[in-house]
Chains A and B, each alone.
Chain A
Amino acid sequence: MPELRNWVLECLRQPQRAADFSDADWDLLIRQARHSNLLARLDWLFQQHPAVQPPIWAERHLEAARRVSDRQQIAVRYEIGQIVRAMRPLQQPVILLKGAAYVATGLAPYHGRMFSDIDIMVPKPVLERAEQRMLLAGWMSAHHDAYDQKYYRTWMHELPPLRHRRRGTVVDMHHTILPETARLKPDAARLIAAAVPVEGLEQVFVLAPLDMILHSATHLFHDGELENGLRDLVDLDALLRHFATDDGFWPRLQARAEEMDLQRPLYYALRYCRELLQTPVPESALAATSPHQPRFAALMDMLFQRALRPDHVSCNDAFTGLARWLLYVRSHHLRMPLHLLLPHLVRKAIKRRRESTPLGGHPLEKKAAD
C-alpha cells in the first residue's frame, strides 16, 4: 500500500515544512485542505511563516479561501447582532457556542475558520419564546417535514435549524449540549451558570473556558457525524494551547469533566489532539483520563484515525468508508436508544435519495444537504 501523505496534518503541525514543498505537494495539500474545510486556516498559518512562499497558482486558492473566511467572520458578527436584537425583549441570556463564540471573543481558533451555521444556546424554559422571537425577526424553520420536526423537538438538544428568510443564514438553537436521549447527561443549567459575558454585547455570553473545551470535545466525539472532524480537532487544539497557561488548568479541566459527566469525550480529545496535532498535553492529564477510555479502545482508534483525516481520496484506505459509516451509526446510537435508531436511519437513507434542492436558474441541481 502506498504511504499515506496527509499534508494537511503535516502543515498544521509544522507549517514551515511547506517551504520545501514541490508543486505536486502543494497540489495535494490544497485538495486535502479544501475537503477538510481547513484551507483558510492553513493560509493563516502560512502567513505566520514568511519562509513559506506558495506558487502563484496555489496562492490563488489560498487567497480565495481567505476571502471566504474573512467575509464569513463579518457575516457571523452581523448575524450575532441580529440575533441579539431579536432576542433582547426576552431579557434572557443568549450563549454563543463554537465558531460564533470564537469570533465574538477573538479566541484562538477563529483565525481562518470556516462556518456553515451559527450555534447558540438558551435556557430550556426560554426555548419556545426564543424561537418565537426568531420567527418574528425573519428566521423560519428549515425543516418542514413533520417527522424532522418531531425528531428534533422530541429527541434532540436543539431546535430544527432556523434559516433566515432573506439572508439564508442558518442558526442552530440549543438548550443543552447533548441530545435528551443521549447517555451522557451534562447539566445545561451549570453550563449557563458558569457562562462568561461577552464584552460590548448585552445578555450575550460564551461558555467558560473549561466548558468551551468540553463542549467542543463532546460535539466532536459524541454528537457530530465527523464531517468536519479534523477542523473541529484543530479548534480543540487551539483552545487547549490557549488556556493551558491558566493556573492549574489540567486538573481543573479534569475536575470539570467529572462534574459534567464528560470524561469520555475529554479522553478522546486529549488523546487525538496530542497524537495528531502534537498538542502539549502533559502525561499526568492523559493518565487522569485513561480510566475513561472506551472498552474497545483499539477499535475506536482505528475508526477515529480514519475519520479525522481529510475527506479526500488520497487519505482513504480500504477501511475509510466503513470507519466513517460505523461512526455515523455510532453518533446516532449515542443520541438515541436502538429501537428509535433503526427506523430513523432507514428513513434518513431513503430521504437522502429522494430529496433535491434546485439551484436557482443553474442547470445543475444541488444535492440535498443532510
Chain B
Amino acid sequence: MNIATYSRERLGQYMATDGVRFRTGPFVVDLRSTLPAVVEGIHQMYGEYPLIESDHADFYLHLKQPAGIRHWWRPQVCFALDGHEPFKPLPLSQAFPMFEWALNWCVASHMHCYLIIHAAVVERDGCVAVLPAPPGSGKSTLCAGLISRGWRLFSDELALISLKDRRVIPLPRPVGLKNNSIDIMRAYAPQAVIGPNYTDTRKGTVAHMKAPTTSIRRADESGRAAWIVFPKYTAGAEARLTPRDPGQTALYLAQNAFNYSVLGRAGFETLTAVVDGCRCYDFEYSQLDDAIEIFAALELPYA
C-alpha cells in the first residue's frame, strides 16, 4: 500500500488525526498536519511512497500554525519534531517547503550511522555520482536533468554514506528547483511532475519535482560511489570536465558534511576511502544536453 491508495480527502483526515506513516529511503516518517498545503504537497509528491504499519517511526513531524494572534494576521507555519520546535516559524505559504527542509534537517542532525554530505546524488548501473556544490552552482538543475534522462535519483540534498560498508544509500525525495531552473525543467522534462511555485522563500522561488517512480521503488538498493563531480553552471560555457585533486576534494567534503565533526575517526576513514574510490572532477556547463552526454561517458574508477 502506498500513499496514493488514499484519496486527497482521506489522506487529509489521516494527517489531521493519527498522522500518516510512510517510508522514505531507510527512514520511517510520521507526519501530522491539518494544513491543506502540506496535505496537497504530500498527495502530489509522495503518492508512491509506501505506507508503513509499524509501531515505530524515526521522526515524528508535526506542521502547524503557531498559536496566538499570528493565526489570523500574517499566518505562519512551524514544525515540531516530536513535540519540540527547534526553529522559528516561516510564512504559512511556505508550509510544504518547510516540511522538506525540516525532514532534511531531521536526517542530517540525527542519523550519525551515516556520513552525511551536502550533495546531490544520482546512480547508473550501481555506480553513484556525488555532486557536491555550493548553492547557486546548478547542482539541483543538473541532478533534475540527469534523472529525467535515465539516471536514478538518490537525493538532491543529502549523500548518505554508510559507515559500515561505505555504500551510498538512497533517500529519494522531491528535487528542490530554484528560480530559473524551474522553467528550465518544466521545458526539459515535460513528463515530470512539478509542483506549485513557492515565492519569496529564503532561496527565492522554489518548486519541487517529484522523484521518478523507479527511484522511489528501488529506494532500498544502495550504490557504490564512483564519481565526485563539482558542477558549475556558467552561461554560455562549453561543457568541460577537469580532474580535481583528491585531497582538496576530501577537504571540501569534510567542510561541507553535516556530521563529519561528530564522527571523528570513522568520518575521516570513511571520507578518505570514498574519495580514494572515486574519480574527482570539476564540471563546467551551460547546456543540460551536453552534461547528459558527458555524464554518459564518465569513466569508471577501477578500469
Contact (Cβ within 8 A) A57 B56: yes
Picked from A23, A68, A365, A367, the residue with its CB within 8 Å of the CB of B112 is A68
A35 interface hit (Cβ, 8 Å) = yes
Whether A165 is near chain B, meaning CB under 8 Å from some CB there, is no
The proximity string for B residues 57-99 relative to A, scoring 1 for CB distances below 8 Å and 0 otherwise, is: 1101000000000000000000000111111101000000110
Task: State whether B264 touches A35 (Cβ < 8 A).
Answer: no
B136 to chain A, nearest CB (A): 11
Q: Does B5 interact with chain A (Cβ within 8 Å)?
A: no
Contact A63-B56, Cβ < 8 Å, known A363-B203, A367-B85: no
Give the chain B neighbours of A142 by CB distance below 8 A. Answer: none
Q: Is the CB of A367 within 8 A of B87?
A: yes
In the complex, which residues of chain A have a beta carbon less than 8 angstroms from the beta carbon of B54?
A: 23
Q: Quote the shortest CB–CB distance from A357 to chain B (angstroms).
A: 9
Flag whether B110 is at the interface (Cβ < 8 A): yes
Which of the residues B86, B110, B261 comes within 8 Å of A71, measured between beta carbons? B261
Name the contact of A60 in the complex, choosing from B101, B105, B113, B263 (C-beta under 8 A).
Answer: B113
Contacts of B201 in A (CB 8 A): 363
| B135 on the A face (CB < 8 A) | yes
Q: Once bound together, how far apart are the Cα atoms of A35 and B82, in whole Å?
A: 9
Binds B, one of A24-32, A292-300, A336-344: A24-32
| A63-B105 contact given A23-B56, A31-B60, A57-B58, CB 8 Å threshold | no
**Complex: chain B residue closest to A69, CB-CB:** B262
Q: Is B10 an interface residue (CB 8 A)?
A: no
Contact of A35 with B84 in the complex, beta carbons under 8 Å: yes
Hey, which chain A residues are within 8 Å of B261, CB to CB? 71
Interchain CA distance A105-B277 in the complex, whole Å: 41
Closest approach, in angstroms, between the C-beta of B77 and any C-beta of chain A?
11
Q: Is the CB of A364 within 8 A of B102?
A: yes
Tell me if A144 counts as interface (CB < 8 A to partner B). Answer: no
In the assembled complex, the Cα of A68 lies from the Cα of B111 at a distance in Å of 10
- Chain A positions 50 through 62: 1 when the CB is less than 8 Å from some CB of chain B, otherwise 0: 0000010110110
CB distance from B106 to the nearest CB of A (A): 11
Of B28, B85, B202, B262, the residue contacting A67 (CB under 8 A) is B262
Known A35-B82, A64-B110: A367·B88 in contact at CB below 8 Å: yes
Which size bracket describes the interface of B in this complex? 20 to 34
Most buried by B among A67, A356, A365, A366: A67
Cβ A68 vs Cβ B262 within 8 A: yes
A312 interfacial contact with B, CB 8 Å: yes
The reply to whether B113 and A313 contact each other, CB–CB distance below 8 Å, is no
Known A27-B56, A64-B113, A68-B112: A313·B102 in contact at CB below 8 Å: no
**A364 B57 Cβ-Cβ under 8 A:** no
Minimum distance in angstroms from A263 CB to a CB of chain B? 36
- CB-CB contacts of A4-43 with B at 8 A, as 1s and 0s? 0000000000000000001110110001001100000000
| Inter-subunit contact B83/A313 (CB<8 Å) | yes
Q: Give A181 to B280 CA distance when docked, in angstroms.
A: 61
- Is B266 part of the contact surface with A, judged by Cβ < 8 Å? yes
Q: Is residue B55 within 8 Å, beta carbon to beta carbon, of the partner chain?
A: yes
Q: A74-94, CB under 8 A of B: which get 1 and which 0?
A: 100000000000000000000
* C-alpha spacing A58/B101, complex, angstroms: 24
Bound Cα distance from A92 to B98, whole angstroms: 51
**Which residues on the A side are within 8 Å of B263 (C-beta)?**
67, 71
Complex contact B85–A363 (CB within 8 A): no
Report yes or no: A61 in contact with B110, Cβ–Cβ below 8 A. yes
Given contacts A24-B55, A61-B110, A363-B201, contact A71 B264 (CB under 8 A): yes
Q: Across the interface, which residues of B come within 8 angstroms of A63, CB to CB?
A: 112-113
CB neighbours (8 Å) of B84 from chain A are: 35, 311
Chain B residues with Cβ under 8 A from A363's Cβ? 90, 97, 101, 201-203
CB distance from B224 to the nearest CB of A (A): 21
Cβ–Cβ contact B110 & A27, under 8 A? no
| A365 to B91 Cα, complex, angstroms | 13
Alpha-carbon gap, A108 to B56, bound state (A): 32
Report the separation of the CA atoms of residues A311 and B81 in the bound assembly, to the nearest whole angstrom: 13
Which A residues touch B58, using CB under 8 A? 57, 60-61
Knowing A61-B110, A68-B112, the reply to whether A367 touches B105 (Cβ < 8 A) is no
The reply on A2 being an interface residue by CB < 8 A is no
A117 at interface (Cβ–Cβ under 8 A)? no
Assuming the contacts A67-B112, A67-B266, asked whether A58 and B88 have C-beta atoms less than 8 A apart, the reply is no
What are the residues of chain B within 8 A of A60 when measuring CB–CB? 58, 111, 113
CB-CB under 8 A from A24, the residues of chain B are 55-56
Measured between beta carbons, the chain B residues less than 8 angstroms from A362 are 101, 105
Residues of B close to A364: CB separation below 8 A: 86-88, 90, 98, 101-102, 105
Report the minimal beta-carbon distance from B138 to chain A, rounded to whole angstroms.
Answer: 17
Shortest CB-to-CB span from B178 to chain A, Å, is 11
Cα-based distance from A311 to B82 in the complex (angstroms): 11
Known: A365-B88, A367-B87. A27 touches B57 (CB 8 A): yes
A31 CB, min distance to chain B CBs, angstroms: 5
Q: Is the CB–CB distance between A366 and B83 below 8 Å? A: no
What 1/0 flags go to A230-241 for Cβ under 8 Å of B? 000000000000
- The interface residues of chain A lying within 8 Å CB-to-CB of B87 are 359, 364-367
Q: Which residues of A contact B86 (CB under 8 A)?
A: 364, 366-367
Query: B239-271, CB under 8 A of A: which get 1 and which 0?
Result: 000000000000000000000011110100000
Q: What's the Cα separation between A343 and B113 when bound, in Å?
A: 46
- Bound-complex Cα distance A366 to B90 (A): 11
Contact B55 A22 (CB under 8 A): yes
Extra A-B contacts (8), CB below 8 Å, given A63-B113, A71-B263, A356-B88: A64-B111, A64-B113, A67-B112, A67-B266, A363-B101, A363-B202, A366-B88, A367-B85
- Which 9 residue pairs are nearest across A and B when measured between Cβ atoms? A27-B56, A24-B55, A64-B112, A23-B55, A364-B87, A363-B202, A365-B88, A313-B83, A67-B112
Between A and B, 9 residue pairs with Cβ closer than 8 Å are A23-B54, A35-B84, A64-B113, A70-B264, A312-B82, A363-B101, A364-B101, A366-B88, A367-B86
Q: Interface of B with A (CB < 8 Å)?
A: 28, 54-58, 60, 82-88, 90, 97-98, 101-102, 105, 110-113, 135, 201-203, 261-264, 266
